[in-house]
Structure 1
Amino acid sequence: MNPVLAAAVAGCLATGPMTAVMSGLFRRLPAGERHPLPPRLVTERLLGPLGLLDGVPEDRRADAALAAHYAYGALTGAGYPLAARVLGGPPVVAGAAYGVAVWAASYLGWIPATGTLTPATRHSRRRNAMMIAAHLVWGGATAALAQTLCARPSGFGAPHGATAPVSPALPEIPEPEAVRMRAW
């Protein structure tokens, strides 16, 4: 599979474990820090003024935020192959570093620059730790999944009988008890 396409698919899929981590850590925040998670706020603040959420009931806005979150995971995942070349090292480590870079570019860069949210420097340490942990998971999972998707067994799409390295088995990822939370 094309590395950019594989990384986009991987980024979308890796948004699942990222969301589970974010949701789990969200529940551990003090009550005063449990305001809506960034995917919900960003979706409403970017799509709302365009009228794209007009008439969308409150319970469906959570679905829109989740869909936008997965789409952004795919979009940013597509950039992983370039980042991996620059970062070097084992894929999961490069992926985790890329995840933190995506967090920084988003929460210290384009999101506050567009006036969508305040910069991460104005958020609590616990909330930033939650978001960074979620992005570490996303980046590591994106790298592992992209590597797996790019691996092709001999004779199955590999040119002239060439073989691609077989990636190690992915760790078991527990199913989140409730990905769709009120915070979304």
Structure 2
Amino acid sequence: MAGPGLERFVQAIVDDHGLATGIKTLGTHYDIVAFANLRGYPVNLSEWGRYVAMDTLQASDQEITLMQQADPAHWSWAFRQLSRWRSLLMDGAGQEGLLGPAELSASSPPPIVEATSTLNPVPATDEQKDAALQAFIALVRSRPDLKDQVKAARNQDDVISLAAQQGFSIDSLTLLRSWSQVSDFSKPTWFGWFDD
């Protein structure tokens, strides 16, 4: 069962045209979770993944095919991920924004390095990591249990690990970039970030 933050987020996309317009630029599940958290809906990647999987189990084969063929670069990708959001697409958008069918060929498979790099949802750019940190901070501010865990952290590795458990990929360089903007350097990086 999905948490209240996720349910509220999914329904808010259906009810609020302005919020729904915001998901047009999203091309990964990571982006959707970060967007939700930045908008004040506490969601983590594992919760989102389970929600999408449960929704997919109830979809027809045709719906699943259309969902899997959705081009992540197309504005409709995020809308195709959930049945409640697919209903927001106009009838004419049915075949628009889809990749061609996946054809099997007799050629040799691509190297493993390529396959793993395309499946890895970890943000690659500094901007994506900075956005992940901001989304994590917003989540912690909204959840007292997480705030207590952050305050009890012994070092930045504990904070990074806690962020990873919540589905946010940040590293020490991300913390350092943000630290210099909000700290007088007299306290550890994470103190004060998570207070309201």
Common topology (TM > 0.5): no
Q: TM-score, normalised by structure 1?
A: 0.26
Q: TM-score, normalised by structure 2?
A: 0.25
Which structure has more RCO (C-alpha within 8 Å, separation ≥ 6)?
Answer: 1
Q: Which has the higher helix share?
A: 1
